Amino acid sequence: MNKQALAFLTMFSLILMLSVYYVTLPNDNMSVMTQDGKAQSEAMMEKENKEENKENTKETQEKNTDEVLALQEEIEKKEDEEIHKQETIVSKDNTSSEDKQNAVAKMESIKDAKELQKKIVEALKQQNIKSAVEITDKNCIINVFNMENNMENAKKAMNAAYSITKDDYFIEVVFKDA
Chain segment 58-95, per-residue pLDDT in tens: 445 555 567 778 888 888 888 888 888 888 888 888 88
Sign, Cα dihedral of 126, 128, 133, 137: negative
SS3 of 56, please? coil
When pLDDT is cut at 50, 70 and 90, the band that residue 34 belongs to is: very low
Residue 114's Cβ-side half-sphere holds a number of Cα atoms within 13 Å equal to 17
Q: Where are the domains of the chain?
A: 61-178
Percent of all residues in the chain with a pLDDT value above 70, rounded to a whole number: 77
pLDDT attached to residue 54: 60
Q: Which CATH class is domain 61-178?
A: mainly alpha
The predicted-structure confidence for 6-21, as pLDDT tens digits, reads as follows: 999 999 999 989 888 8
